[in-house]
Structure 1
Amino acid sequence: MSLAELASYGIIPQRGFLCTHDAPDVRFEGHLADARDVALRIPEFLPAGKLRDAVHAHLPPVDAHAIAALDESQVRMAMVHYSFLAQSYIWGGVEPASSLPATIAVPIVALAGRLGQQPLLQYSGYVLDNWGTIDPGRPIGLDNIYMIQKFAGGIDEAWFVLVHVAIEARAGEALALIAPLIEAARDGDEVHARSLLEQMVVVWSDVSAIFDRMPDQCDPYIYFHRVRPYIHGWKDNPALKGGIVYEGVEKFAGKPQVFRGQTGSQSSIVPIMDALLGVGHAADPLKAYLDDLHAYRPPAHRRFIDDVRAHSTLRAFVTEKRDRELIGVYNRAVQAVADFRSRHLEYAASYINKQGSQSAGNDTEIGTGGTPFMKYLKKHRDETAAMMIPA
């Protein structure tokens, strides 16, 4: 692996796993432009309880042929808009809907096919492809980014997403260190490996500092009751009996489909660190869930994680060298990931688990991905911390 190959995974150091195109500049024509306009009005329709009426009245039909003619940036931006429409339609009424109308179902399935992902909202559509810079000449940071497509709107919703955008951007520098670290381990270069790991620890310190800012403008009560209800999926959600019917989609033959909901666990920054550092997770139902989430990432990002896991001998190299300074900085890198997972666990407790009341589909015990998330997060935090190498 070499730095020159990073772009082949759709990654640049300045943006990490964020989209490499400028999402606000993406344009559509004809019915797709009309569909985008309906999607951007979701914050108007949801509070009035008129989202489903608006979809039936105003959302034009778009067939698979129109999707096939789009370039990649258009496909990814269209997926943002249609996935927000799908989530709003299912969860935007007094009771969840049991099906998606063809005007949403047909294009979103075609878009998912182009992307190699699933036909509902995923982390890539919620975060990675759903932002813009206020001043394109300045760096990506919380003081210079905005959320393009929204559900209800408001500071809390935007801040929740933008903190993740800022984290992904800062993590880009760490991604650029991965190939050199693999090469240093392969070449037996302790000095270079130690220097690169020191840089990695600094990046992750910055990532954690950004994550610490979540409570600044995202209140736990508002998040649970006004943001979270719309990002649940159709799998393992007690409010949905058997999944969602995608009307007009021939390959599904009218049978309900189940897909996992958007979750921060679909981000690739922690799994790529697991792959680099040689962190493993015990085989059990929660490990199976983690593996299941891998299919919800963009294919190029999946390939990057798989390639790093296949090529990284960093843990074995550090273990074999028995150099105290090298072991120390490797352990600090492991601890940085464990600390990030600990903060995620703390937020899950305060933003979800401790919220007393709930509504249909918005359970305090079940994550948006459809799992008992507290147990899941604790397990992977503890497994990460256990990977320290004795000095």
Structure 2
Amino acid sequence: MQRAAAEGDSDAVVAGLISIAEALRDMQATLARMGEKCDPYIYYQRVRTPMSGWRNNPDLPQGLVYEGVSTEPMQLYGETGAQSSVVHAFDAGLGIQHDQVWLRDYLDTMVLHMPPAHRAFLRRLATANSGPTNVRSYVQRVATAELRDAYNAAVEELERFRSQHRAFAHSYIAKWARKETTGTGGSDFMPALTGYKDTTSRHVLPQ
């Protein structure tokens, strides 16, 4: 899609944007099935604690010593969806910029937890956004209704996915621990998820 933008191939850019929107709809349909096999109470009480990691964890404020590795305690993030390259790639491809420093810094840190090939892929996508391969800039420059509508549809589906994710975070975590706001990745998760959702919605192009 970025190459198509550089080559001025609007049809290919539209096709790429449609594919992104379709993929995000499929992701939402899959996520919507969470409750079929994962009970919120069981998740919170039995599954979440081992996933929480040793960073910003009140039970291990100094971290955890890995015997045979280091005598110093280590503070490691727990598993979190932000360590997947999928949504990062959608952000990069669509030119979604999380300008609030605390939101951007957390996502940048999570990239360090990805496989090297995934990090390299995201770097290539990000680098392409600084030139003629920037899809968002191309859509704004060419300014056809077809391009704008396809771009906005993709951005709106990404915002819906983030809204859905936030809703699950509330029903699986926040409602069970009103005083707890730290996610398995060590982030203040409800404000963060709201911030990512709101930033995404602001990238919808005006009609």
Instruction: Return the offset for 1:356.
Output: 4.2
**Largest Rg, 1 or 2:** 1
Find the counterpart in structure 2 of residue 208 from structure 1.
Answer: 28
Local SS of the residue matching 1:245: coil
Q: What TM-score comes out, normalization by structure 1 length?
A: 0.50
Seq. identity, %: 39
Q: What TM-score comes out, normalization by structure 2 length?
A: 0.93
CA distance, structure 2, for counterparts of residue 336 and residue 371 of structure 1: 24
Find the counterpart in structure 1 of residue 86 from structure 2.
Answer: 269
Question: Which of 256, 260, 284 is the equivalent residue of 2:73?
Answer: 256
| CA-atom RMSD in angstroms | 1.4
Q: Check 1:287–1:199 CA distance in 2 against 1; reply closer, same or farther (3 A cut).
A: closer
* Cα deviations by residue, 1:204-227 (Å, 9 ceiling, x for unpaired): 211111111111121110110111
Find the counterpart in structure 2 of residue 332 from structure 1.
Answer: 153
Query: Is it true that 1:347 corresponds to 2:168 in the alignment?
Result: yes
* Cα deviations by residue, 1:366-389 (Å, 9 ceiling, x for unpaired): 111112100110001100111111
Where has structure 1 moved over 2 Å in runs of 4 or more?
283-287
Query: Is it true that 1:372 corresponds to 2:188 in the alignment?
Result: yes
Instruction: Return the offset for 1:321.
Output: 0.4
CA distance, structure 1, for counterparts of residue 49 and residue 88 of structure 2: 26
CA distance, structure 2, for counterparts of residue 227 and residue 352 of structure 1: 11
Q: Is the 8 A contact 1:354 1:364 kept in 2?
A: no
Q: Which amino acid aligns with 1:189?
A: D
* Cα deviations by residue, 1:327-351 (Å, 9 ceiling, x for unpaired): 0110110111111110110000000
Instruction: Return the offset for 1:247.
Output: 1.4
Q: Which has the higher contact order (CA 8 A, sep 6+)?
A: 2
Structure 2 unaligned spans of 5+: none
Q: Is the 8 A contact 1:235 1:258 kept in 2?
A: yes
Q: How does 1:158-237 map to 2 (within 5 A)?
A: 181-237=1-57
Q: Which moved more, 1:301-310 or 1:188-197?
A: 188-197
Instruction: Return the offset for 1:296.
Output: 0.6
Find the counterpart in structure 1 of residue 64 from structure 2.
Answer: 244
Q: How does 1:108-119 map to 2 (within 5 A)?
A: none
Find the counterpart in structure 2 of residue 390 from structure 1.
Answer: 206
Q: Which amino acid aligns with 1:233?
A: G
CA distance, structure 1, for counterparts of residue 161 and residue 93 of structure 2: 16
Q: Is the 8 A contact 2:103 2:196 kept in 1?
A: no
Structure 1 unaligned spans of 5+: 1-180, 358-362
CA distance, structure 2, for counterparts of residue 284 and residue 202 of structure 1: 30
CA distance, structure 2, for counterparts of residue 311 and residue 245 of structure 1: 41
Q: How does 1:1-391 map to 2 (within 5 A)?
A: 181-249=1-69, 252=70, 254-312=71-129, 313-356=134-177, 364-391=180-207
Local SS of the residue matching 2:96: coil
* Cα deviations by residue, 1:255-286 (Å, 9 ceiling, x for unpaired): 11111111111111100000111101124223
Find the counterpart in structure 2 of residue 126 from structure 1.
Answer: none
